Amino acid sequence: MNPLKHFNARTLDDAVLAANENSLIIAGGTDCLSLLKNSILPIYPQELVNIKTVSELDYIVEEAAGLRIGALTRLADIVESAVVTAEYGVLAEAAKSVASPQIRNMGTIAGNLCQDTRCWYYRCSPFTGKSYFCTRKGGRVCFAVAGDNRYHAILGGKGCFAVNPSDLAVALAALDARITVKGTTSERAIPIKEFYTVQGNILKPHELVTDIWIPRPPPQAKQRFLKFRLRKAIDFAIVSVASIITMEDEVCRDASIVLGAVAPVPLRAAEAEQAIKGKVVNEETAHNAAKASVAGATPLSGNAYKVEIAQALVKRAILF
């Protein structure tokens, strides 16, 4: 790695002040170390800001109306939490699906939400002898459009077709979670659906995620997180689905369905939700909702297979 400074933040204010254009935040470190070692970032940071030393950001607290999770809470702690497993099962399933036990023991919830894209054009190291000045690095070309795009977006791609890699973001979007972001002079609660853009997330210099607040889902709601990947462990999703479906007898009264790894952001499948709300849930309605979930998909040359996988996962989640 290139020489850089290392700063241990002792307080949240210290961390916010240090989080500038020339620094990189490290918590679990499972993603940012590879970014540094392979010189992937368009501008190499001058300082590494360690926030593991900020003790006030590691917690899971049950509140009357929901759950609050600190930014430094490890994925393993989310998986093992009794309250998360019992009442926010879709989040526990998503956290358990991430990588391997070793990575879940290091990775944090905020790190998972803020991780950089896995697009191989973006992450191609200059040490290989070739790098790509793509739209995410300030260029004008998304090389995946005319290149190897088998894992890229089939929905919502515009300028950049890299998909959001976070599993937890998909589950939290289905739960209508809010992300708390602290700056030097203010703090704001952002609905997770507004946290991401085609180019990444909306964090600015001197801003950090401090916690995630999740409203309590209806106790009778069926929660499911499904993830298709080539290998059962380690791999990022090719397609994922998070669903929270509230039933009354055999009729769907409410539904929240979110697709992952098919778009640059976690994608709410609103048309699929409307296809089952107020209807008896059976093979036919689930099939119709599954088709509606990918209505308007515009696959690239190598990823049309994602349409069929998304439909299969949505149908399976509804019939669960």
- Sheet of strand 239-248, all strands in order from the earlier edge strand to the far edge: 222-228, 239-248, 251-260, 267-268
99/89 Cα distance (integer angstroms): 18
Handedness of CA 207, 195, 132, 121 (dihedral sign): positive
Q: Which of 170, 54, 53, 55 is nearest to 112 (CA)?
A: 170
Strand, helix or coil for residue 93: helix
Q: Return the pLDDT at 261.
A: 98
Can you give the residue ranges of every domain in the chain? 222-319
Question: How far apart are alpha carbons 70 and 179 in whole angstroms?
Answer: 10
Instruction: Give residue 221's identity as a one-letter amino acid code.
Output: A
Q: Interior CA angle at 277 toward 274 and 280, to 5°?
A: 130
Nearest to 242, CA basis, from 227, 231, 264, 221: 227
CATH class of 222-319: alpha beta
User: If residue 213 lies in a helix (H) or strand (E), which one and from where to where?
Assistant: strand 208-215
Closest CA to 310 of 189, 226, 185: 226
Predicted local confidence at residue 45, as pLDDT: 97
Task: Report DSSP state, residue 205.
Answer: T
So what's the pLDDT on residue 234? 86
Q: How far apart are CA 78 and CA 103, in angstroms?
A: 13
pLDDT at 108: 98
Low-confidence ranges of the chain (pLDDT < 50): none
Which pLDDT score, from 0 to 100, does residue 233 have? 78
Structure tokens at 74: 């490890």
Distance CA 76, CA 86 (A): 16
At 147, list the tokens: 């290149």
Q: Is residue 217 within 8 Å of 88, Cβ to Cβ?
A: yes
